[in-house]
């Protein structure tokens, strides 16, 4: 059986991807998003476990008529996550390189460009 030669096309492709500034930016943002989501999930699970499942219901403290484990383990971290995502989107995320944006087609925004019904659907039956 002949020996397979190493295909360098993939190596070249990935090397070019690593050099692309947009790709590096997207990888960085994906890492930060994954880290934020993992931290959020870990916090929620740990707080709900220790404040909710490890105590008896008569030991719960009430905050605004709800058990403390629910407020501290779900509502508060979700509100913090919303703020973190907003700040992340406004301050950390950067626009793509200008030359990349110039190569992409412009978005259609005029109402005349968009039809109300897809062409693949048959006309509606009259009843």
Q: Give domain status of residue 1, yes or no.
A: no
Q: Give domain status of residue 37, yes or no.
A: yes
Highest mean pLDDT among 10-14, 77-81, 123-127: 77-81
Residue 69 has pLDDT above 50, yes or no: yes
Q: What is the pLDDT of residue 7?
A: 59
* Beta carbons of 71 and 63 less than 8 angstroms apart: yes
Share in percent of the chain as helix, strand, coil (round to 5): 65, 5, 30
Q: Give domain status of residue 59, yes or no.
A: yes
In the three-class reduction of DSSP (H, G, I as helix; E, B as strand; rest coil), residue 125 is classed as coil
Q: Give domain status of residue 3, yes or no.
A: no
Q: Residue 54 belongs to what domain range?
A: 25-95
Arithmetic mean of pLDDT, 21-36? 86
Q: Give domain status of residue 33, yes or no.
A: yes
Task: Report the predicted TM-score, pTM, of the whole model to 2 decimal places.
Answer: 0.59
Q: Give domain status of residue 124, yes or no.
A: no
Q: What is the pLDDT of residue 113?
A: 47
Highest mean pLDDT among 19-28, 53-62, 103-112, 113-122: 53-62
* Beta carbons of 106 and 100 less than 8 angstroms apart: no
CA–CA gap between residue 69 and residue 51 (Å, rounded): 5
Residue 41 has pLDDT above 90, yes or no: yes
Q: What is the pLDDT of residue 104?
A: 54
Which letter, b or e, does each residue of 68-88 get, where b requires 16 or more Cβ atoms within 10 Å of its Cβ?
Answer: bbbbbbeeebeeebeeeeeee
Q: Give domain status of residue 29, yes or no.
A: yes
State the pairing for strand pair 66-67/62-63: antiparallel
Number of domains in the chain: 1
Orientation of helix 21-48 relative to helix 76-87, angle to 10°? 170
């Amino acid at each position: 059986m002949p020996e397979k030669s190493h295909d360098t096309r993939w190596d070249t492709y990935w090397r070019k991807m690593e050099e692309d500034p947009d790709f590096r930016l997207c990888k960085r943002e994906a890492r930060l998003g994954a880290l934020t989501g993992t931290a959020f999930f870990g916090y929620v699970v740990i707080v709900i476990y220790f404040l909710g499942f490890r105590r008896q219901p008569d030991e719960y403290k009430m905050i605004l008529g709800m058990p403390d484990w629910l407020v501290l383990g779900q509502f508060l971290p979700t509100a913090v996550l919303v703020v973190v995502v907003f700040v992340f989107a406004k301050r950390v995320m950067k626009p793509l390189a200008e030359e990349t944006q110039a190569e992409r087609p412009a978005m259609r925004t005029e109402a005349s460009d968009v039809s109300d019904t897809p062409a693949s659907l048959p006309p509606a039956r009259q009843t």
